[in-house]
Structure 1
Amino acid sequence: MREGRVSVDDRIVLDPERPVDAERQRIALDGVVVGARARVYIALNKPRGIVTSASDERGRATVYDLLKEAGLPWLGPVGRLDRASEGLLLLSNDSVWAAGLTEPRHHVDKTYHVQIDCVPDAALLQRLEAGVMEQGERLAAKQVSLLRHGDKHAWLAVVLDEGRNRHIRRLLAAHEVGVLRLIRVSVGSLALGDLPKGQWRHLDDAEVQALATR
């Protein structure tokens, strides 16, 4: 674009950040009309230990290694899961759809199953919902419930409607609770289901629309 090789409706455009509508405007590169790329939406069951980025300076495996042979166009992650976390990760090349799921003002529910290193009482669950201030940020869960427990460990279902960096781990650490496993099991109306670990699938039109209009 800086070289003047791109035109929109037959007028040269030099600004790469200028918004365009690929479905209504005629975009050309070196005089050849460029069509809008098909929108792709996938769900991936991210394993623990995989980085949610295109590359890693330490050479660790990324989610894109799992998609290497899939023949997919470039897809961006819709939100993130840290390296130690696992479960449902959405990827798409539809930036408008992705923004609708990740912008804080939209408050899309995300549900996690979290194994912790203690057996919580009702008071702890209430404190997790009440929230804490941690490093200048208020961290709270929309809903926390006990799924099951043994003598020393327990599994919680934690629902967030906002996503701060390492939100659940920081919230639990503020109450001196350690996380043993953290699995995202749903985003909005879309559940991870029985998708095998490390595998992915396309979302169908109904699933894409349900997330867009939740």
Structure 2
Amino acid sequence: MGERRQPQKLREREKAGADAGGKRVTLPRALSKLGYCSRTQAERLIADGRVAVDGRIIRNLDAWVDLQSAKLAVDGAMIAAEAKIYLMLNKPRGLLTTRHDPEERPTVYDCLKEFDIPHLSPVGRLDKASEGLLLFTNDTEFAQTLLDPITHVTKTYHVQVNRVMDAESLAEMTYGIRHDGEVLAATAARLLRSGDRNSWIEVELDEGRNRQIRRMLEATGAECLRLVRVAIGGLKLGELPKGSVRALTEAELRDLKRRTGMERTGRN
């Protein structure tokens, strides 16, 4: 979501407050959890003196609030929790995963024009040349948990390469490949089908490094021709037409929350 990670001690204090059965969080996180804005945006609002708690302007970024009882306002207007929205898009190739592009190139938000939902953000990214399953939500906690490497939610990709991938190259991708000082590894890589000059492979990742699959292929001497994300955890792209959007079903959302551990901890 492009938000700055909280300092470790502050994250631990917030977790302790939640584990104790309360709803006490820092003020930036409160605004984020209510779906009003991101934490980074909240910090700017607070520093500018635009946020009030129970009628009093608060400028302290580390101030604690109780989500169950505190009355929050921005510029004098009371705010309340937005309804949580969870959408999936079959991203076409050539779109940027951003809300605004300085060069006015097409973005994924061109596919979401019928959804007039404030603070709707992509969960992670697909680069301009990549296609397939992309999630959007205004539930910042869900997005952060799904993206956290510690949850190990698998992302599955179908990739067309410019040669027939042999078993040795596929095994190398799972053992780990050093590229630009990083060790990159897939959790699984297998051949789907092949022709005389190219092939399709399936690659699973449980983390998201920048251009990870493309970089691994380059290291094996192969070039990525197409890259399509087809699943996140148990959520499958299926037959959703390219450029189309639909809401997640309750069962799909429940499964993703189970995989991240949110269901076990009772977080909504």
Check whether TM > 0.5: yes
- 2:152 paired residue among 107, 132, 136: 107
What CA distance in whole angstroms lies between the structure 2 residues aligned with 1:211 and 1:24? 29
Deviation, structure 1 residue 14: 2.2
Deviation, structure 1 residue 37: 1.1
- 2:168 paired residue among 120, 123, 130: 123
1:47 aligned residue = 92
What CA distance in whole angstroms lies between the structure 1 residues aligned with 2:50 and 2:167? 64
What CA distance in whole angstroms lies between the structure 1 residues aligned with 2:76 and 2:206? 46
Number of matched pairs: 214
Q: Identify if the C-alpha distance between structure 1 residues 107 and 49 changes in structure 2 by more than 3 Å, giving closer, same or farther.
A: same
* Residue type at the aligned position of 1:97: F
Q: Kindly indicate whether residue 103 of structure 2 is the aligned counterpart of residue 58 of structure 1.
A: yes
Larger mean CA deviation between 69-78 and 162-171 belongs to 69-78
Deviation, structure 1 residue 10: 3.6
Q: Kindly indicate whether residue 195 of structure 2 is the aligned counterpart of residue 157 of structure 1.
A: no
Larger mean CA deviation between 198-207 and 22-31 belongs to 22-31
Please give the per-residue CA displacement for 1:14-37, whole angstroms capped at 9, x wherever unaligned.
246756565543213455432111
1:48-197 mapped onto 2 (5 Å cutoff)? 48-197=93-242
Deviation, structure 1 residue 80: 0.6
Contact 1:43 1:201 in 2 (8 A): yes
Q: Kindly indicate whether residue 52 of structure 2 is the aligned counterpart of residue 7 of structure 1.
A: yes
Deviation, structure 1 residue 58: 2.5
Deviation, structure 1 residue 106: 1.6
Provide structure 2 residue ranges, at least 5 long, that are not aligned to the other structure: 1-45, 260-268
Q: Which has the higher helix share?
A: 2
What CA distance in whole angstroms lies between the structure 2 residues aligned with 1:153 and 1:116? 6
Deviation, structure 1 residue 38: 1.1
Contact 1:104 1:162 in 2 (8 A): yes
What CA distance in whole angstroms lies between the structure 2 residues aligned with 1:188 and 1:203? 13
Deviation, structure 1 residue 55: 1.6
Contact 1:22 1:35 in 2 (8 A): no
Contact 1:22 1:36 in 2 (8 A): no
* Residue type at the aligned position of 1:212: K
Structure with the bigger RCO (C-alpha within 8 Å, sep 6+) is 1
Q: TM-score, normalised by structure 2?
A: 0.75
What CA distance in whole angstroms lies between the structure 1 residues aligned with 2:64 and 2:181? 35
* Residue type at the aligned position of 2:236: A
Larger mean CA deviation between 63-72 and 146-155 belongs to 63-72
Please give the per-residue CA displacement for 1:63-102, whole angstroms capped at 9, x wherever unaligned.
1111123222221110110000000000111111001111
